[in-house]
Structure 1
Amino acid sequence: METNPSPRTGFPLIISVDDHTVEPPNVWQDRLPKKYLDTGPRIVRAPLKEMSFLGGRFSPVMGTPGSDDGPIGDWWVYEDLHRPLTRLDTAVGYSRDEIKLEVITYEQMRPGSYDVPARLADMDVNHVQSALCFPTFPRFCGQTFTEASDHELALLCIRAYNDWMVEEWCGPDAHGRLIPLTLIPLWDAELAAAEVRRNAARGVRAVAFSEIPPHLGLPSVHTDDWDPFLAACDETGTVVAMHIGSSSRMPSTSKDAPPAVGSTITFANCCFSMVDWLMSGKFERFPNLKVMYAEGQIGWIPYILERADVVWEENRGWGGVADKVHRPPSELFAEHVYGCFFDDAFGLRNLDAIGLANVLYETDYPHSDSTWPKSREVGEAQMGHLEAEVVERIVRGNAIELLRLSPEGLWSP
């Protein structure tokens, strides 16, 4: 395992704060009580009858297992939910023109998507030392379990996922190179706080959360409902990690807009969410709280900070924030918020307006947007104008500090 920058290029080894794991078929079947094995998450091989992805909404229909209703794929089945594995879940290794919305089986995906040794090998190819991974079947912040009808089972599923994440995905075979990211029961802030503390006690330093909770039918961050959860994060130093799409509503303009429209404006949810947090007063109430936006890119941040400061200064008397936001939003951003990018040349030309300490690098493996296996080359091309010390901060130093990794960039409990 490499632990030092490559002597060939001098580019620092990458710590990616946004990669993804495709959960192996046995995650829940190995951990749930026997009475739940027929209703808990499990893999079924079945055909696809039809599937669409328009207006930001993914709509697959599973055929009868064993029939010739359509192309065959592996499906997660949980309660009444049928969710297929798709090429978009694990697109690395395919040319851009080959990446289509189609169902696949585990045999048709790159093993690094779900297998730890294979993942480490793919990280080596990509000049990546360590990686924080978001889930696939639970969705980016566990919406799958939040939407379930049986919350007793859903809580067991969340705990089972977290146990697998800490003990297996980030276990001894990962050699500290995979960094745990856990889930919470979003429907109960007290239970969420307990799960944060349970995982923090075994070294977890990041938890997934929704960028815009009201889109999930949950309270906004402007209420006090989330305070038990936020207090637990504040006390334990657990970073609140929000991935684009963690509100289950990707930005789009119309029901018939092609996916390319939404893909172009994916940053919009991060933008709206960040303004929510900056105007919520939560950073003043929870001074140790840190939040990060995965896959949101960074080029949009300077204007939003500029506008937020103007609104706070000129309109706070009637804007509903005078009694809870006591400092300019840009100052709160500098102390509490992190933007993450994998391809943003414009943002890197405007680092002074964003803040060097607030920028993190990612590779998005194994998704279709991923820069694998050329994340180093992309970074070199876009950061060539920056001093070596600045590149070091962006590519690994800020992540080491935020996630409290070892000086070498590795995770340990």
Structure 2
Amino acid sequence: MEKEEVLRVIDCDVHNQFRTGKDLFPYLEETWKSQAVLRGGGLPYATPIGNKRKDANPPSGLPVGADPEYMIQQLIEPYNMDYALLCSDGIIAVSAFADADYAAALCRAYNDYQIAEWLSYSPKFKGFLCVATQDPLQAAKEIDRIGPHPDIVGVSIVGGSRMPYGQRFFHPIYEACQRNDLPLVIHPGAEGSGIFNPPTAVGYVSNYLEWHTCLPQTYMAHLVSFVCEGVFEKFPNFKLVLSEGGVSWLPPLLWRLDKNFKALRSSNPWLKRMPSEYVRDHIFMTTQPIEEPDNPKHLAMMFEMFDAENMLLFSSDYPHWDFDDPMKILKQLPVEKRKKILSENARTLFKLA
């Protein structure tokens, strides 16, 4: 029996955690330390089964996801990972704060902390720098400050927002991403909290199951906004990653958008191509949580409806409860397509050796 080829993996969504609530204090300006003690975070919707894998507790006694050595032993080495791209849970809701200066200060502290305590630990770790969206000019300044670091491979913001991300209010962020040759990664986690709009088009849902299921609504709205507001015409080298929002909703959305554009293109005269063409050239999506229909052939059919093999990036979501094993998902695809999704697309996008 022929031995199955061992495929290399680049994990595009790994959640490192803080050891304590004061991990950022050594990197936080004195002005904000006292406020950091008093202000709380927290997400509006929490999974009733716990957010972390029950087998991911480090022997060191540190919180799940807070021990880089154990992450290497449990995640990186067993799954043949060349790189783990870090996106911390502890900073994900920062754009929900009403105080834009406080949010920006937390981002600066986190970015310095990540470089000093995670990215320097192992060459296997690469990071997304975090910016707050309340003040795009401050965010752009932070991208210019941290973006040139060789272990920073992208810019991370959260899906929750007060307006669709294509609107020109946010354009300084995208200009800075293009200037520093860094993709923007949108990750869910705080929709419906703080100053953000409700997490669905009809308002607030009652529990985590509804919230988690409806996340594609957020991505649909942002994606249509990016295209129709002309972001990809204005910033032709800008790349966007939609993380952890599913993938099967994309083809029917693009069918609808292309059809409507043909009749209504006068409302967006700056667009020179069909909307689906911009998406094909500028958008990437992560696999986790991949939809899993009862009939695997249905997912394969969906992949044929868009450029899945070139647009998808593998993500495990480690150490969360819905972790995806790279050795088990997408087994129905030909090996060359699996190679692209498991590592090669990310290697090209994030310019990894």
Q: Following TM superposition, by how much is the alpha carbon of 1:39 offset from its aligned partner in structure 2, in angstroms?
A: 2.5
* 1:19 maps onto 2:46 in alignment: no
CA–CA separation in structure 2 for the residues paired with 1:347 and 1:277: 26
CA–CA separation in structure 2 for the residues paired with 1:152 and 1:295: 28
Q: Deviations over 1:378-403 (max 9, x none)?
A: 32xx333x222111001100000111
The aligned residue for residue 80 of structure 1 is 39
Which amino acid is 2:83 matched to? S
Rate the CA distance shift 1:349–1:178 in 2: closer, same or farther, 3 A: farther
Percent of paired sites with the same residue: 19
Rate the CA distance shift 1:256–1:185 in 2: closer, same or farther, 3 A: closer
Question: SS of the counterpart of 1:181?
Answer: strand
Structure 1 gap ranges (5+) = 1-6, 41-77, 96-104, 407-413
CA–CA separation in structure 2 for the residues paired with 1:186 and 1:335: 25
Which residue, out of 248, 253, 276, partners 2:225?
276
CA–CA separation in structure 2 for the residues paired with 1:369 and 1:109: 22
How many aligned residue pairs are there?
Answer: 335
Task: Pick the structure with greater CA Rg.
Answer: 1
CA–CA separation in structure 1 for the residues paired with 2:254 and 2:61: 41
Q: Following TM superposition, by how much is the alpha carbon of 1:159 offset from its aligned partner in structure 2, in angstroms?
A: 0.9
For 1:21-60, list aligned pairs within 5 A. 21-25=16-20, 26-34=22-30, 36-40=32-36
Q: Following TM superposition, by how much is the alpha carbon of 1:35 offset from its aligned partner in structure 2, in angstroms?
A: 5.4
The aligned residue for residue 337 of structure 2 is 390
Rate the CA distance shift 1:339–1:170 in 2: closer, same or farther, 3 A: same
Q: Deviations over 1:318-372 (max 9, x none)?
A: xx21x1222101100111001111233554443232212111111011112212x
Moved more, 393-402 or 359-368: 359-368
The aligned residue for residue 195 of structure 2 is none
Q: Deviations over 1:121-142 (max 9, x none)?
A: 11123444322222222225x3
Which amino acid is 2:53 matched to? V
Which residue, out of 243, 248, 251, partners 1:299?
248
CA–CA separation in structure 1 for the residues paired with 2:178 and 2:49: 35
Question: SS of the counterpart of 2:186?
Answer: strand
The aligned residue for residue 404 of structure 1 is 351
Q: Following TM superposition, by how much is the alpha carbon of 1:231 offset from its aligned partner in structure 2, in angstroms?
A: 1.1
CA–CA separation in structure 2 for the residues paired with 1:257 and 1:279: 32
Which residue, out of 28, 42, 52, partners 1:91?
52
Which amino acid is 1:162 matched to? N
* 1:113 maps onto 2:59 in alignment: no
For 1:277-356, list aligned pairs within 5 A. 277-317=226-266, 320-321=267-268, 323-342=269-288, 343-345=290-292, 346-355=298-307, 356=309
Question: SS of the counterpart of 1:365?
Answer: coil
Which amino acid is 1:376 matched to? P
* 1:133 maps onto 2:80 in alignment: no
* 1:143 maps onto 2:143 in alignment: no
The aligned residue for residue 243 of structure 1 is 187
The aligned residue for residue 363 of structure 1 is 316
CA–CA separation in structure 2 for the residues paired with 1:88 and 1:23: 21
The aligned residue for residue 134 of structure 2 is 187
Question: SS of the counterpart of 2:128?
Answer: coil
Structure 2 gap ranges (5+) = 193-197, 293-297
Greater share of residues in strand:
1
Which amino acid is 2:328 matched to? V
Which residue, out of 117, 133, 144, partners 1:168?
117
Which amino acid is 1:244 matched to? P
Q: Deviations over 1:133-164 (max 9, x none)?
A: 22222225x325xx154x54443321110011
For 1:151-162, list aligned pairs within 5 A. 151-162=100-111
Kept in 2: contact 1:181–1:205 (CA 8 A): yes
